[in-house]
């Protein structure tokens, strides 16, 4: 029986306040850590828990921290990626609105581990309530010495500031996020150097996702073995799933990873609205979709990667049999085209072409040659774009062309969208 | 030449203390200036650059890159309707059609009285409560045409 970990406090009244957080044992993990753990011991604990980043790439968190060089002249920075913008994703919003201290305690733990004295939380500008709640939480934490100079009487000090985003999906990419904090246009930078070595203000920098931070106090409190015993070996720990689209019970669910896509839609979501699933996007719109025949695939990092998709942000979007895949992938491609930062040609020009061709097909004015052209464009963008935005966009489009080619052909043959 | 008002200048200088250099404070300054002046005209952008003592181009390039900054005037109520996938699948197009017909504007336009601007936007993170829109900084979720009508009625009465 799985007991909720990340969502359990959110049902309490005033769950966002320090009083409620403390009443449920909040900040005890921090106090205990400062008393009993060295920074290296915290890194080791998180490594052993096998916590993998909850932002999209699933990189092992402890390993990422261990890349920060020791005893260098420049003090490391910590950043929280709260620029949640992957369509179909709303988990970080819930944490920041309803349990901001959980994220904050995780950040303080991480900052201690890597030796950071300053941290920034990059929150997307649309998330007004998140910004308000996190600012309030920072104030409350400072007033009780959980933040600021000499935290809880130790020699560890930390300042945390909110950086308000202003509408750019690309800021979810970590180097673009750092550029944005530095006051520049958010365009990704070449790696290496990786941020852990040279990031914000040319200092070593760790960037973790909101949900990743939210896992940390629990790992400190209950141990690495407890965490790694939940779910499949390669994808351990409690996980938030954002379920939306044409499904009877959309919402934010917490479960161990490793359940099948079908169980997520049928058991958690109460089935597709029309009763018949056509396709499921497993991890936000960058993740290739699966047709109904492949819903036995499991929702975890390794199973989805092996099946040619990804867990990504765990934004599970359901299409029932009334949905038009061509319309959906057209809108997705238009989204990526709109959000392309313009730095590299394959993404900037390629996605513009793809979007125009797709819109033409959706309107019934496409040709069969257009489908070949789309295939060619996808393979040109994939692997040649500067960052993952172009990769995700072309990957998603390829999956629609592969699994639903007959729907594209019907649009072309009938000269109109057959679903309207 | 325009100057940023004293209280906003104070807030900008306060925000700048959070960073090791002034360039990092430009986004905070743009947010504060837009909140106060409504729109980031060239005059306002120049004044922001002067307040932070940074080159104007640094300010201008951010104001035109990020979509939440407005360099042209917008209505008193900025309706931002999500049209991304989960909202699309939950019939955001019907909401858009209703708003366009009722306000007699298309996406991107402002009503003649300057009261409403309609923009279709990308995912707002309300996917489980789709379709959704924002008016200025307030979220409205689980919309249908009737509820959207009520929201517009309420905003119309709210002068």
For each of the domains in chain A, give its residue range(s) and CATH number, in order of start: 8-228 (3.40.50.11540), 238-320 (3.10.20.600), 325-414 (1.20.1440.230)
Percent of chain A clearing pLDDT 70 (strictly above): 100
On the CB side of A166, how many CA atoms lie within 13 Å of its CA? 26
Are B125 and A93 inside 8 Å of each other by CB?
yes
Alpha carbon distances (Å) from A418 to A281, A361, A401, A415 = 22, 11, 17, 9
Cβ–Cβ below 8 Å for A245 and B134: no
Q: Which pTM does this prediction carry? A: 0.97
In terms of Cα–Cα distance, which of B35, B18, A181, B17 is closest to B4?
B35
Q: Does A389 touch chain B (CB under 8 A)?
A: no
Phi, psi of A285 (to 5 degrees): -70, -10
pLDDT score recorded for residue A100? 98
Using CA coordinates, name the residue in chain A closest to B25.
Answer: A183
Residue A161: list chain B partners with CB under 8 A: 18-19
Mean pLDDT (chain A, rounded): 97
Phi, psi of A369 (to 5 degrees): -60, -30
| Residue B159 pLDDT exceeds 60 | no
Confidence of residue A420 (pLDDT cuts 50, 70, 90): confident
Write down the domain spans for chain B.
Answer: 6-65, 77-157
Inter-CA distances, A73 with A6, A46, A199, A204, B78, Å: 37, 25, 14, 10, 48
Query: A94-143 pLDDT, tens per residue?
Result: 999 999 999 999 999 999 999 999 999 999 999 999 999 999 999 999 99
Give A358→chain B minimum CA distance, Å: 15
> Residue A71 has what pLDDT?
80
Give chain A positions within 8 Å (CB) of B127. Answer: 87-90, 242, 244-245, 250, 315, 317
Shortest Cα distance, chain A CAs vs residue B149, angstroms: 23
Q: Which residues of chain B lie closer than 8 angstroms to A252, CB-CB?
A: 128
> For residue B125, which residues of chain A lie inside 8 Å, CB to CB?
84-85, 89-90, 93, 124, 126-127
Inter-chain touch A127–B125, beta carbons under 8 Å:
yes
Which of A183, A317, A332 to substitute to test the interface with B, most B CBs within 10 Å?
A183
Judge: B25–A251 Cβ closer than 8 Å, yes or no: no
In A, residues 194-253, which contact B (CB 8 Å cutoff)?
201, 242-246, 250-252
The residue-averaged pLDDT of A203-221 equals 98
Q: Pick the residue from chain B with its C-alpha nearest to A93.
A: B125
pLDDT, tens digit, 9 for 90 and up, residues B77-118: 999 999 999 999 999 999 999 999 999 999 999 999 999 999
Nearest Cα of chain A lies from the Cα of B72 at a distance, in angstroms, of: 16
What pLDDT is stored for residue B158 in this prediction?
A: 65
Cα of A45 to nearest chain B Cα, Å: 31
Each residue of A50-103: pLDDT tens digit?
999 999 999 999 999 999 998 888 999 999 999 999 999 999 999 999 999 999
Query: In this complex, which of B62, B89, B124 lies closest to A245 when CB atoms are compared?
Result: B89
- Name the E strands within chain B: 77-82, 116-121, 133-135, 138-140
Q: Looking at domain B77-157, what is its CATH homologous superfamily?
A: Glutaredoxin (3.40.30.10)
Tell me if A312 sits within 8 A of A56, measured CB to CB.
yes
**What value does the mean pLDDT take over residues A205-220?**
98
Identify which of A84, A164, A328 has the shortest CB distance to residue B28. A164
Tokens for A413, please give them.
Answer: 């043959």
> What 3-state class would DSSP assign to B15?
helix
């Amino acid at each position: 029986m799985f007991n909720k970990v990340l969502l359990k406090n959110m049902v309490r009244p005033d769950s966002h306040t320090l009083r409620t957080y403390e009443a449920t044992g909040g900040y005890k993990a921090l106090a205990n850590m400062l008393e009993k753990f060295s920074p290296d011991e915290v890194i080791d604990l998180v490594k052993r828990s096998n916590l993998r980043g909850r932002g999209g790439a699933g990189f092992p968190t402890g390993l990422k921290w261990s890349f920060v060089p020791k005893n260098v002249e420049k003090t490391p920075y910590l950043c929280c990626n709260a620029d949640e913008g992957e369509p179909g994703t709303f988990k970080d919003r819930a944490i920041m609105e309803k349990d901001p201290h959980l994220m904050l305690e995780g950040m303080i733990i991480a900052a201690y581990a890597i030796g950071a004295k300053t941290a920034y939380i990059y929150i997307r500008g649309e998330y007004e309530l998140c910004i308000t709640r996190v600012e309030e939480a920072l104030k409350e934490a400072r007033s009780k010495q959980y933040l600021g100079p000499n935290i809880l009487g130790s020699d560890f000090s930390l300042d945390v500031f909110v950086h308000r985003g202003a509408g750019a999906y690309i800021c979810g990419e970590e180097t673009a996020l750092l550029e944005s904090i530095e006051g520049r246009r958010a365009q990704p930078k070449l790696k290496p150097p990786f941020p852990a070595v040279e990031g914000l203000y040319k200092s070593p920098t760790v960037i973790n996702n909101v949900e990743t931070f939210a896992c940390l106090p629990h790992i400190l409190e209950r141990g690495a073995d407890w965490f790694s015993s939940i779910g499949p070996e390669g994808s351990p720990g409690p996980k938030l799933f954002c379920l939306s689209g044409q499904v009877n019970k959309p919402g934010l669910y917490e479960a161990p990873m490793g359940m099948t896509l079908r169980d997520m839609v049928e058991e958690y979501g109460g089935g597709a609205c029309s009763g018949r699933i056509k396709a499921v996007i497993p991890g936000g719109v960058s993740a290739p979709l699966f047709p109904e025949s492949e819903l036995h695939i499991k929702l975890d990092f390794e199973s989805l990667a092996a099946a040619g998709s990804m867990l990504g942000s765990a934004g599970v979007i359901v299409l029932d049999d009334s949905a038009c895949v061509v319309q959906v992938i057209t809108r997705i491609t238009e989204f990526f085209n709109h959000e392309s930062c313009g730095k590299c040609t394959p993404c900037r020009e390629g996605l513009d072409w793809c979007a125009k061709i797709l819109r033409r097909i959706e309107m019934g004015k496409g040709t069969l040659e257009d489908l070949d052209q789309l295939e060619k464009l996808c393979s040109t963008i994939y692997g040649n774009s500067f960052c993952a935005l172009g990769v995700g966009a072309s990957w998603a489009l390829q999956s629609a062309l592969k699994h639903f080619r007959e729907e594209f052909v019907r649009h072309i043959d009938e000269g109109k969208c057959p679903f309207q | 030449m325009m100057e940023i008002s004293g209280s906003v200048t104070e807030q900008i200088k306060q925000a700048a203390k959070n960073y090791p250099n002034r360039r990092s404070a430009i986004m905070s300054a743009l947010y504060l200036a837009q909140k106060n002046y409504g729109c980031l005209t060239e005059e306002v952008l120049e004044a922001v650059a002067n307040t932070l003592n940074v080159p104007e181009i640094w300010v201008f390039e951010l104001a035109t890159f990020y979509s939440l900054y407005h360099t042209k005037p917008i209505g008193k109520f900025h309706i931002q309707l999500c049209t991304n996938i989960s909202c699309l699948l939950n019939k955001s197009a019907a909401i858009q059609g209703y708003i366009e017909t009722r306000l007699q504007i298309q996406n991107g336009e402002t009503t003649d009285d300057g009261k409403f601007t309609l923009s279709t936007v990308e995912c707002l993170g309300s996917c489980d409560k789709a379709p959704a829109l924002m008016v200025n900084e307030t979220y409205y979720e689980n919309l249908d045409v009737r509820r959207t009508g009520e929201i517009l009625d309420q905003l119309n009465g709210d002068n």
